Amino acid sequence: MSRRQYRPPPRAGAAPPDDTGCTILHVDMDAFFANASLLARPDLIGTPVVIGGAGNRGVVLSATYEARAFGVTSAMPMGRARRLCPQATVLPPDHELYSRISDAVMATFESITPYVEPLSLDEAFLDVSGAVRRLGSPATIASQIRDTVHDEQGVTCSVGVAPTKFVAKLASGVCKPDGLLVVPVAEVVTFVQQLPVGALWGVGEKTEEHLGRLGLVTVADIAHTPEATLRRALGATGSHLHNLAWGRDPRRVEPVHREKSIGADETFPVDVDDPAYIRRELLRLSQKTARRMRSAGLVGRTISIKVRFADFTTITRSKTLRDPTDVSQEVYATAVSLYDALGLQRARLRLVGVRVEGLVKAANAPVQPTLDEPEHGWRDADRALDRAVARFGPGSVGPASLLRKR
């Protein structure tokens, strides 16, 4: 399905588009499997590369944009792909790598909003309405996501920002690769109606042919056809397409809770070599991670840290506790002990992260207090902080050491 490039109307003084009310993001990784595979083959960047089975009976899993320019597409027989682009390099898929990067990307999304709806390994919807006050406008959040994914995972993504899921997904497709497109509320109808009918959800090849026989070629054609006429021709699908043609899509982002692990990372604006600074950051990340666990009603036993050096070398260390926990201080104590054991001295760091794995429902794993724990200990303190944060907002209360200028 081909799409004509949408060109927003000119704006005086190159003012940014109005993203008010555009709190739905669709994030789509660019040629994900191909670009992820190139992380180990940087010499192939900028050349046609095809991911899939090497034999002629194999199928294309993904292809770089350089290969796509020759007509190579996903799900195409490898034999045909080789005929279309004989100079392409064929690489075998690395599904473990793809899953690992996908997990990290989804964790980035979940650090921004709990309303994340993955559609596959390489795309997801986000509802950022609750994050705007904390992180900035939807467009700012989208830009932050693109930067974080590229900096931390080495791959690019495109983000559509719109008032509905349908329009956000269209926008991410239009601005590929490595793009960001905001479709303001006032421009939704113009944006949608200039597209071909094949852009509408629910319009497959056969439906598109049927609509063409009816003289309906663009979304505007559907929009200006009476809904009753569409229903007679297409049944219930007619009403569905008519609503989409006017940009109407009431569906909400349905979060899918990923309970393998919970964590948080921080990429520093400049490389850091101060151990005291790193420990404070580990405290902040441990608190954030433990608070998310308590909010989800989860506890975990395995605590890990991630450290990325200035040269992008990344290492992880983990420790499994005897009993599961959701206590911030226990998470922090373990994280900082793992960091201290590395003996990094004045090593320059780009990123640190804290993660808790082996998660189970707290109700299924009651935490036993230790003999030396006071009647009102860290667990009670955490819950008091949770109540304060719920009432007064993030950052309203916390350890004194985190109040120091970073």
Domain of residue 224, CATH code: 1.10.150.20
Question: How confident is the model at residue 385, as a pLDDT?
Answer: 65
- The pair phi, psi for residue 251, each rounded to 5°, is -65, 140
In angstroms, the CA 351 to CA 71 distance is 39
Question: How confident is the model at residue 8, as a pLDDT?
Answer: 46
One domain for residues 233 and 344: no
One domain for residues 227 and 335: no
In a domain, 166, yes or no: no
One domain for residues 78 and 209: no
One domain for residues 314 and 234: no
Question: How confident is the model at residue 368, as a pLDDT?
Answer: 47
What counts of helices (H) and strands (E) characterise the chain? 15, 13
Q: For residue 174, give both structure tokens.
A: 């239009």
One domain for residues 316 and 266: yes
Question: What are 180's strand-pairing partners?
Answer: 159
Alpha helices (H) along 205-274? 205-213, 219-223, 227-234, 236-245
Question: How confident is the model at residue 360, as a pLDDT?
Answer: 76
Q: For residue 225, give both structure tokens.
A: 């056809």
- Is 271 one of the annotated binding-site residues? no
In angstroms, the CA 6 to CA 184 distance is 13
Alpha helices (H) along 123-164? 132-135, 138-153
In a domain, 70, yes or no: yes
Does this model's pTM top 0.75? My answer is no
Q: Is 271 helix (H, G, I), strand (E, B) or coil?
A: strand
In angstroms, the CA 152 to CA 265 distance is 10
Q: Is 37 left (phi over 0), alpha (psi -120 to 50) or beta?
A: alpha
CA 113, distance to chain mean position in Å, is: 10
In a domain, 179, yes or no: no
One domain for residues 266 and 398: yes
Measured CA to CA in angstroms, residue 113 lies from 23, 57, 254, 299, 353 at distances of 11, 43, 12, 20, 18
The domain boundary residue, chosen from 95, 117, 133: 95
Question: How confident is the model at residue 56, as a pLDDT?
Answer: 57
In a domain, 226, yes or no: yes
* 123 labelled catalytic: yes
Q: Which of 123, 152, 281, 330 is catalytic?
A: 123
One domain for residues 239 and 268: no
In a domain, 170, yes or no: no
Q: Which of 3, 89, 82 is nearest to 40 (CA)?
A: 89
Number of domains in the chain: 3
Alpha helices (H) along 246-368? 275-296, 328-342
Q: For residue 370, give both structure tokens.
A: 């230790």
The residue ranges of DSSP E strands in 81-186, in sequence order, are 89-91, 116-120, 123-127, 157-162, 180-182
Question: How confident is the model at residue 16, as a pLDDT?
Answer: 76
In a domain, 300, yes or no: yes
One domain for residues 314 and 216: no
The domain boundary residue, chosen from 54, 79, 95: 95
- The CATH number linked to 334 is 3.30.1490.100
**Residue 338 burial (CB count, 10 A):** 19
In a domain, 366, yes or no: yes
The DSSP 8-state label assigned to residue 404 in this structure reads S
- The pair phi, psi for residue 92, each rounded to 5°, is -75, 150
- The percent of the chain in helix, strand and coil, each rounded to the nearest 5, is 45, 20, 35
One domain for residues 208 and 304: no
Q: Which of 248, 152, 150, 208 is nearest to 3 (CA)?
A: 208
In angstroms, the CA 393 to CA 192 distance is 38
In a domain, 108, yes or no: no
CB 272 within 8 A of CB 278: yes
Sheet with strand 123-127: strands edge to edge:
116-120, 123-127, 24-29, 157-162, 180-182
One domain for residues 221 and 271: no
The domain boundary residue, chosen from 213, 245, 277: 245
Range of the domain at 324: 261-403
Query: pLDDT digit string (tens) for 106-124?
Result: 989 999 999 999 888 899 9
- The CATH number linked to 74 is 3.40.1170.60
CB 369 within 8 A of CB 378: no
One domain for residues 241 and 352: no
Helix (H) / strand (E) containing 29? strand 24-29
pLDDT-flagged residues of the chain (< 50) = 1-13, 366-376, 405-406
CB 262 within 8 A of CB 289: yes
In angstroms, the CA 276 to CA 278 distance is 5
One domain for residues 267 and 365: yes
- Is 28 one of the annotated binding-site residues? yes
